[in-house]
A and B are shown apart, each in its own frame.
Chain A
Amino acid sequence: MTELSKTGAAVGEPTSGRQAPEAFLEVRDLKVHFPTDDGVVKSVDGVSFSLEKGQTLAIVGESGSGKSVTSLAIMGLHRLGTRGKNVRMSGEIWLDGKELVNAAPDEVRKLRGREMAMIFQDPLSAMHPYYKIGDQIVEAYRVHHDVSKKVARKRAIEMLDRVGIPEPAKRVDGYPHEFSGGMRQRAMIAMALVNNPELLIADEPTTALDVTVQAQILDLIRDLQKEFGSAVIMITHDLGVVAEIADDVLVMYGGRCVERGPAGEVFEQPQHPYTWGLLGSMPRIDRETSERLIPVKGSPPSLINVPSGCAFNPRCPYADIPKGNVTRTVRPELEQVSTGHWSACHLSAEDRQRIWTEEIAPKL
């Protein structure tokens, strides 16, 4: 684990032994640790994935599984201000051929907002209450574009119109509190997209919203993605949203990736017991379910004392099947199940297949 060096290599200059990948975004063995008085909080502990332009990756997991920390790490937001002193980051994040983890903060700042932008969960706290919506969008635009206020304002109105805010020329002078929740989320999407970013990270963009508004926002994100061809990382705990929008799914548990693959496969042939648990926990609106939900027993692990072996073992109903106590001593590595579909589990492929088809699938 390397301490975050402030004088790291400049952006775009591959450090020795590190090859720029072909994918648009590639994260390799990303670790984000926070030393605290109680011990080191291993929020993200070795996550790797890649994403192409025009594709959507959904990161799913419980609170505290490290999904938001991953996205903040990509945005370089852990390193801001005093927070930068309290974080240890290692691994590689390659965005369009540029490495970000060891890049100088100034270099990352140039990318932030322009090449990569973020939509936060709570638009009320993510927007400044003192400034007009329009002014905040104008600021985001002028940071990266050398244009007059007038031009930027025109651009802001254009974006507000694009995200479906009625009377954008009027609402551009409104304050965040004058917007409803859905409208605020739209305004924030407008702000995130004002510079045509190539990577859009949406951190639970619809969790605080009603289903009807959620449907509007998901539609909007999908349309905008088609229009701008951006790559989207969608962080959510709602598998419904995942099924709706994602091409690929990454399931996180205890700071690690436990399953990764194309959305269709992960829903059809999920390989990890935790993914089964998530699917079994969800009440379904589209069918009359069997009487009881199948919850995952217990609570999420502490990130300071992650259980040894497989982090999921204390909650896994199948932890005793693999022989030799291996689930409690050896950390399982991601193994490819089929093309592009990876899973980190000690269960043998036959066992998994049998449990899924015989025990889990019929109950869903």
Chain B
Amino acid sequence: MSETKKTDEAVIPQQASAAEGSADREVLLKVEGLTKHFPIKKGILQRQVGAVKAVDGIDFEVRKGETLGVVGESGCGKSTMGRVITRLQDPTGGQITFEGRDITRLSTGQMRPLRRDIQMIFQDPYGSLNPRHTIGSIVSAPFRLQGVEPEGGVKKEVQRLLELVGLSPEHYNRYPHEFSGGQRQRIGIARALALKPKLVVADEPVSALDVSIQAQVVNLMDDLQQELGLTYVIIAHDLSVVRHVSDRIAVMYLGKIVELADRTSLYERPMHPYTKALMSAVPVPDPKRRGAKSERILLRGDVPSPIAPPSGCRFHTRCWKATEICKTTEPQLVELTPGQRVACHHPENFADQAPQDTVLLSAAKKASELVPDAVAGGGPVEKEPAATDKAAASEEAAASEEAAASEEAAASGKAEASAAGGAASAEKTGPGAKVSTEKAAPAAEDAAEAPAAGTGAGADAPSGEPEAAAEETGRQAEAGDQESAEAESGESAEAESQESTDK
């Protein structure tokens, strides 16, 4: 699977529309590079001074009959994503393909026939039903608007729908205020299902409900999917609910998907540190596990502002594994194991994607204090390779040396990085070239994406060695904190020389 590859993006639209029913038959909804920015305007002229990047480039597809769960903290853009894929809001960029048809720029009128197929269930069962309309008129609205005359008349069909969602047909003439939250949510579901949609986007369908009622609604949605062959996109912040209902799950952070995987892989072997932290934070209803508090990863602080998201990997300000590359280069969402796509340079439960890049950011060191040792087993300590102690011993010398040697080293580093995803280059060019590979890797990153995905399994081998070496060097690289500052100056000098050599 290589939807994320740039080369494919141009081809896919035609492919999808032309060859619908062959390769992409399974895919009901496909989203590529989707962005939604809300402009921030200021002054008399209402000049745009910035944008809230609510959704900032996401790719995924939803297959027929499956449930895609979308999780993330508040403000990560998951609700906006839901509203954009249903075209309740217009995307800023990217493409949405529904059943092979590009619906990104359809006008309201052109969208109308499609509304039959794409429906939405809203979070707030109090706000989403008009208090002045009877249940009958609320649930029959889709028929009216679409000009559909169901068999046996609208009223009969509405009563059938009410029964389907577990309400009594006599409720037809009642008003929303006469119902409890759980019943209202059922009404919202009945309305969404009225026209037999193909895709239902549910934005926090159960979070406003009590636990026992929540279970009723979850079961109802489950039954309806079985009965009617529905496809769901369920947006929720409750990871337990998402685990229960979803086949595949996308984890969002600050407008990006950081991990997209099937349920079992995601919950048993989360690869993105954010996913891991998010899941460890969910309290488990089992007092015996209280001693296991040590597994909990506490994240420091809050989610950064989506107006000015952090450079590189957006999670690097709170990640305990963040290194220089995370600050400079944005990791792409690549498929590391079949069915599990991750955007991370240093994934958990998998080979490091940037093993040459080893010096932890100072923020990451602080963050790692909050990460229990049990979790950090495969964590930051091992990330300090043999290279650092040599670099530590002769930092200045190395810097000056490298400035001189950078012509060759950078060139070779680059070539190799682009060839083998930067992973192998650290091994071949040796410790001296460490800094230069660091520099080369970002530049080569785009090119390296594809190989990185391809050599995913292969990357295991090179990453093994620095780990072993790290055990010898131990905590010597602690000093790396100060160094990294020094190293930065060294690097920038080196980068200049690199640029000049490039010219």
A→B interface (CB under 8 Å): 62-63, 166, 180-183, 210-216, 218-219, 237-244, 246, 263-264, 267, 277-286, 288-289, 291-297, 299-300
Are B243's CB and A62's CB within 8 A?
no
A299–B182 CB distance below 8 A: yes
Which of chain A's residues have a CB closer than 8 A to the CB of B238? Answer: 283
CB contacts (< 8 Å) of B130 on chain A: these are none
Contact B211–A282 (Cβ < 8 Å): yes
CB distance B289 to A219 under 8 Å? no
Query: With the chains together, A276 CA to B302 CA distance in Å?
Result: 36
What are the residues of chain B within 8 A of A244 when measuring CB–CB?
283-284, 290
Q: How far is the CA of A180 from the CA of B303 in the complex (A)?
A: 10
Residues of chain B within 8 A of A182, CB atoms compared: 302
Q: Quick one: closest B residue to A265, CB to CB? A: B287
Give bound CA distance, A55 to B264, whole Å.
38
The answer to the question of B219 belonging to the interface, with a C-beta cut-off of 8 Å to chain A, is yes
Q: Which residues on A sit within 8 Å (CB–CB) of B218?
A: 283, 293, 295
Q: Is B183 an interface residue (CB 8 A)?
A: yes
Cα distance A73–B500 in the bound complex, in angstroms: 75
Minimum Cβ distance to chain B for residue A304 (Å) = 14
- In the complex, residue of chain B having the shortest beta-carbon distance to the beta carbon of A208: B74
Cα(A148)–Cα(B501), bound, Å: 67
Sample of 9 more A-B contacts, CB < 8 Å, known A244-B284, A285-B243:
A216-B298, A282-B285, A284-B243, A284-B244, A285-B267, A285-B282, A293-B244, A295-B216, A296-B215
Query: Does B473 make an interface contact (CB < 8 A)?
Result: no
- CB within 8 Å of A: which B138-182 residues: 180, 182
Q: Does B73 lie at the interface of the complex (its beta carbon under 8 Å from any beta carbon of A)?
A: yes
Q: Which of A216, A243, A289 contacts B290 (CB 8 A)?
A: A243
Shortest Cβ distance from A242 into B: residue: B285
- CB-CB nearest 5 A-B residue pairs: A240-B283, A295-B215, A281-B215, A283-B244, A296-B212
Contact of A211 among B237, B288, B302 (CB under 8 A): B237
B434 close to chain A: CB less than 8 A: no
Q: A242-B285, A282-B211, A289-B244 are in contact. Are A211 and B278 (CB under 8 A)?
A: yes
Given A280-B215, A295-B215, also A212-B244 (CB < 8 A): no
Select A212's contact among B213, B219, B281, B284, beta carbons within 8 Å: B281
A216-B298, A282-B240 are known contacts. Are A294 and B215 too (CB-CB below 8 A)?
A: yes
Q: Which residue of chain A has its CB nearest to the CB of B180?
A: A299
Contact indicator A211/B282 (Cβ below 8 Å): yes
User: Nearest chain B CB to A222's CB is how many angstroms away?
Assistant: 9
B17 in contact (CB, < 8 A): no
Assess A210 versus B240: contact at CB under 8 Å? Given A293-B218, A295-B216, A297-B216: no
A293 CB contacts on chain B under 8 angstroms = 215, 218-219, 244
Residues on the B chain within 8 Å of A281, using CB? 211-212, 214-215
Q: Are A278 and B290 in contact (CB under 8 A)?
A: no
Give the residue of A63, A212, A239, A294 whose beta carbon is less than 8 angstroms from that of B285: A239
Interface residues of B in 280-311 (CB under 8 A from A): 280-290, 296, 298-299, 301-302
Asked whether B241 is an interface residue with its Cβ less than 8 Å from the other chain, the reply is yes
Q: Decide if B237 touches A210 in the complex (CB within 8 Å).
A: yes
Complex contact A240–B287 (CB within 8 A): no
Please judge, given known A-B contacts A299-B180, A299-B183, whether A240 and B215 are in contact too, CB under 8 Å: no
Which residues of chain A come closer than 8 Å to B471, judged between CB atoms?
A: none
Residue numbers in A under 8 Å from B290 (CB-CB): 243-244
- Which residues of the other chain, B, contact A267 by a CB distance below 8 angstroms? 285-288
The yes or no answer to B277 lying at the interface (CB within 8 A) is yes
- Establish whether residues A285 and B240, one from each chain, have CB atoms under 8 Å apart when the complex forms: yes
Taken together as a complex, chains A and B put the C-alpha atoms of A284 and B264 apart, in Å, by 13
Q: Are B288 and A278 in contact (CB under 8 A)?
A: no
> In the complex, what distance in Å separates the CA atom of A216 from the CA atom of B241?
21
| Bound complex: CA A34 to CA B401 (Å) | 82
Q: Is the CB of A238 within 8 A of B287?
A: no
Q: Which residues of B contact A211 (CB under 8 A)?
A: 73, 237, 239, 278, 281-282
In the assembled complex, B222 has its CB within 8 A of some CB on chain A? yes
In the bound complex, CA of A239 to CA of B215 (Å): 14
Q: Closest B-chain residue to A266, C-beta based?
A: B287
Check if B287 sits within 8 Å of A263, measured CB to CB. yes
* B284-A213 in contact (CB<8A): no
**If A282-B211, A283-B240, A285-B239 touch, does A241 touch B287 (CB 8 Å cutoff)?**
no
Q: Report the separation of the CA atoms of residues A95 and B299 in the bound assembly, to the nearest whole angstrom.
A: 37
Distance to closest chain A CB from B309 (angstroms)? 16
Inter-chain contact A214/B215, CB cutoff 8 Å: no
Return chain B residues, CB-CB under 8 Å to A300. Answer: 180, 210
Q: Are A241 and B219 in contact (CB under 8 A)?
A: no
Are A284 and B285 in contact, with the CB atoms below 8 A?
Answer: yes
Give the residues in chain B near A246, CB-CB below 8 Å: 287
Contact A240 B284 (CB under 8 A): yes
Give me 28 A-to-B residue pairs in the complex whose CB atoms sit less than 8 angstroms apart, sorted by A's number. A166-B301, A181-B74, A210-B73, A210-B237, A212-B278, A214-B283, A215-B298, A216-B299, A218-B283, A238-B283, A239-B211, A240-B240, A240-B284, A263-B287, A264-B287, A267-B286, A277-B212, A281-B214, A283-B243, A284-B240, A284-B243, A285-B239, A285-B243, A285-B279, A285-B284, A291-B222, A293-B244, A295-B216
Which of chain A's residues have a CB closer than 8 A to the CB of B282? 211, 240, 285
In-complex Cβ contact of A62 among B211, B244, B279, B296 (8 A): B211
Q: Shortest distance in angstroms between A299's beta carbon and chain B's nearest beta carbon? A: 5
Cβ contacts under 8 Å, A279 to chain B: 285
CB-CB nearest in chain B for A294:
B215
Please name all residues of chain B whose beta carbon is closer than 8 Å to the beta carbon of A283 when the two chains form the complex: 215, 218, 238, 240-241, 243-245
Smallest beta-carbon distance A363→chain B, Å: 12
- Measured between alpha carbons, how far is A296 from B216 in the docked complex, in Å? 8
Tell me the residues in window 213-247 of chain B with beta carbons closer than 8 Å to chain A beta carbons. 213-216, 218-219, 222, 237-241, 243-245
- Per the bound structure, the CA–CA distance linking A213 and B300 in Å amounts to 9
Most buried by A among B213, B218, B280: B213
A278-B212, A293-B218 known; A212+B287 contact, CB < 8 A? no
A165 CB → nearest B CB, Å: 11
Which residues of chain B are near A210, meaning CB under 8 Å? 73-74, 237
Residues of A within 8 A of B277 (CB): 212
CB proximity of B245 to chain A, nearest CB, Å: 8
Which of B180, B239, B302 contacts A213, CB < 8 Å?
A: B302
- Smallest Cβ distance from A296 to chain B, in angstroms? 4
Closest Cβ–Cβ distance, residue A224 to chain B (whole Å): 15
Q: Which residues of A contact B296 (CB under 8 A)?
A: 215
Residue of A nearest to B301 (CB): A166
CB distance from A38 to the nearest CB of B (A): 14
List, in ascending order, chain B residues with CB within 8 A of A263's CB: 287
Chain B residues whose C-beta falls within 8 Å of the C-beta of A278 in the assembled complex: 211-212
Residue of A with least CB distance to B218: A293
Which residues from chain A contact B288 at a C-beta distance below 8 Å?
Answer: 264, 267
Cβ contact within 8 Å between B219 and A237 = no
A243 and B239 CA atoms in complex are apart in Å by 17
For residue B124, give the distance in angstroms from its CB to the closest CB of chain A.
14
Q: How far is the CA of A239 from the CA of B264 in the complex (A)?
A: 23
Q: Which residues of A have CB within 8 Å of B73?
A: 210-213
Question: What separation, in Å, do the CA atoms of A218 and B239 have in the docked complex?
Answer: 18
Q: Which residue of B lies closest to A166 (CB)?
A: B301
Residues of chain A contacted by B212 (CB below 8 angstroms): 62, 277-278, 281, 295-296
Chain B contacts for A219, CB-based, 8 A: 298
Closest to B267 in A: A285
Q: With both chains docked as a complex, state the minimum distance between the C-beta of A91 and any C-beta of chain B, in angstroms.
A: 26
